[in-house]
Amino acid sequence: MTAMTQEEMVAGARTVAAGLEALRAEHAQLLAGLAANTEHESEKVALVRKSIDAIELGIGEAQ
């Protein structure tokens, strides 16, 4: 196995951060849809918010 260069690590972190930001946007859309539909339980909203918090933590660590 070869060692990653610093440039490869930075590029990998940027790729991960971009993926996490896309995932955060998808979750935000999902949350907006849940908020607009009162038939959904508040538990689903809480789970999506918890997931968004974890995604944002990952983005912060990737930067």
Domain-wise residue ranges, the chain: 17-62
Whether the Cβ atoms of residue 52 and residue 28 lie closer than 8 Å to each other: yes
Give dist(CA 35, CA 29) in Å, integer. Answer: 10
Each residue's pLDDT tens digit, 13-43: 999 999 999 999 999 998 888 877 766 578 8
Whether the Cβ atoms of residue 30 and residue 51 lie closer than 8 Å to each other: no
Give dist(CA 56, CA 8) in Å, integer. Answer: 23
pLDDT on residue 38:
67
Whole-model pTM over 0.85: no
